[in-house]
Amino acid sequence: MDVLTTGIEGAVIIEPTVFDDKRGYFFESFSQRVFDEKVCRIRFVQDNESMSQYGVIRGLHFQCPPYAQSKLIRCVQGAVWDVAVDIRQGSPTYGQHTAVELTENNHRQLFIPKGFAHGFAILSHTAVVQYKCDEFYHPEAEGGISPFDPSLGIDWHIAADQAILSDKDAKRPLWRDFDSPFTYDNPVKQL
């Protein structure tokens, strides 16, 4: 697998080695040994899957400490525009984002460490997204930022008037009203 940097420390794109032949393809979607060696030491404890239709935007989400989550995201059907926003106060890239198209054909994955808000937009008719988390879901620790805050400058590849948001995501605070629970100088450690 190849690990591509994104310009924001910690967030990386993973390109697995795919073996194609007349039968189809094969690749390792996750190897603990290789991930520990090439990305970081981590222990994933929960796998999630969502299915959404075109125009759905899920995000921007995070879990507050002490339940902060790192995520490894991949699209197994369709195509999504996946976004990670650095919310670590004091970070040289605080408030900046990175984005990548994840598709069933490119097999790319995005690793997002603790201290980031995450979201994705559905670009295909439907899409199935799977992601690994290194902390269990804790609803009391949920947090989020408005995905359409213009100060973040995110191009979701979906027009705002076509976007489908949950009621909760539609009411998320703007960046200027957001007080991040994460700091760059005291990051939540991986394993």
Q: How far apart are CA 170 and CA 163, in angstroms?
A: 10
Q: Across all residues in the chain, what is the average pLDDT?
A: 95
Q: What is the pLDDT of residue 191?
A: 46
Tally of residues, the chain: 191
pLDDT tens digit string along 10-63? 999 999 999 999 999 999 999 999 999 999 999 999 999 999 999 999 999 999
pLDDT tens digit string along 24-38? 999 999 999 999 999
pLDDT tens digit string along 69-104? 999 999 999 999 999 999 999 999 999 999 999 999
Tokens 């310009």 identify what position? 7
Tokens of 37: 């060696």
Domain-by-domain residue ranges, the chain?
A: 2-183
**Domain 2-183 grouped into CATH 2.60.120.10:** yes
pTM greater than the 0.95 cutoff: no
Tokens 């979607």 identify what position? 29
Q: Dihedral through CA 129, CA 68, CA 89, CA 144, nearest 10?
A: 50
**Cβ density class 73-99: b for 16+ within 10 Å, e for less:** bbbeebbbbbbbbbbbbebebbbebbb
pLDDT tens digit string along 134-182? 999 999 999 999 999 999 999 999 998 999 999 999 999 999 999 999 9
Catalytic residue numbers? 61, 131
